[in-house]
Amino acid sequence: MKRFIFDTYEEVCSAASELYVKQLNEKPDTVFGFATGSTPVGLYNELVKKYESGEIDFSKARSFNLDEYYPMKKDHPQSYDYFMRDNLFNKINLSAFSLPSGEAPNAQAECKRYDAEIEAEGGIDLMLLGIGHNGHIGFNEPSVSYSMGTYLTKLTQSSIDANSRFFGPDEVQPTEALTMGIGGIVSSRKIILMITGDGKAAIAKKLFDGMIHADVPASFVLLHPDVTVFMDKAAAGNL
């Protein structure tokens, strides 16, 4: 594991974006794994800037996302499909992108279809992760089993509460999601983990306490042979 700590969130995003330049220079047809949430937004902004300046080219690359609410229409403003198109996909020349479909009539069948699509592309080369306040990655919540494939999961109340600010008072907030399993995530060839903000300081300390445990699902990532952690000083304050 390589861990880098920067003064600011902006510096974290800038440094992480350089790994994408390096990755695409080495493998233009990279298969990316992308994450949603507030943490990667700054990184996505940096990637858009690098694309617009001609420093980076996604034309031969494609991507898969970690998760999606279920059920969820992809054109819903709070869907992760909408989030990714709004923050990244509509602004770069990525050849193709996929997310688990929150519109699928059968969740189990959709999970199998999604895993087969990833396998057909040869797996994920570079996976981007954030970490939830409760230690989740994707929607692998605390006490999760070491699931290999994509699956339908019930969200913990803390995850529901953390995301409730995005939903209006008259909107029905999903309580389930389709998510890549821990095993699927760590089968990626490389992993970037971003941890930023003082609100993540407590879980960061728990993550790096040297133990691998199911109540902090992100800790399984530390077993990976090629993981790079980018943090700001706010998140690293308790280390």
What share of the chain in percent tops pLDDT 70?
100
140 is annotated as an active-site residue: no
Beta-carbon count within 10 A of 44 CB: 23
The catalytically annotated residue of 46, 65, 67, 140 is 67
Per-domain boundaries in the chain: 2-232
The catalytically annotated residue of 134, 140, 224, 232 is 134
The arrangement of secondary structure in 2-232, i.e. its CATH architecture, is: 3-Layer(aba) Sandwich (3.40)
DSSP notation for 122-149:
T--SEEEE---TTS-BTTB-TT-----S
Question: pLDDT tens digit string along 162-189?
Answer: 888 888 888 888 999 999 999 999 999 9
67 is annotated as an active-site residue: yes
At which residue do the structure tokens 């994920």 appear? 124
Question: pLDDT tens digit string along 95-136?
Answer: 999 999 999 999 999 999 999 999 999 999 999 999 999 999
Give, in order, the Cα–Cα distances in Å from 124 to each of 4, 20, 55, 102, 144.
Answer: 23, 14, 23, 21, 22
Measure CA 30 to chain center: 16
Give dist(CA 219, CA 208) in Å, integer: 8
The catalytically annotated residue of 65, 81, 136, 232 is 136
**Mean pLDDT score of the chain:** 95
134 is annotated as an active-site residue: yes
- Residue 111 amino acid letter: C
Angle between helices 80-87 and 41-52 (to 10 degrees): 40
Q: What per-residue confidence (pLDDT) applies to 172?
A: 84
Q: What per-residue confidence (pLDDT) applies to 145?
A: 80
Nearest to 108 by CA among 166, 178, 168: 178
* Apex 105 CA angle, 35 and 183, nearest 5: 40
Band of pLDDT at residue 48, cut at 50, 70 and 90: very high
* Apex 226 CA angle, 4 and 229, nearest 5: 25
pLDDT of 147 higher than 80: no
76 is annotated as an active-site residue: no
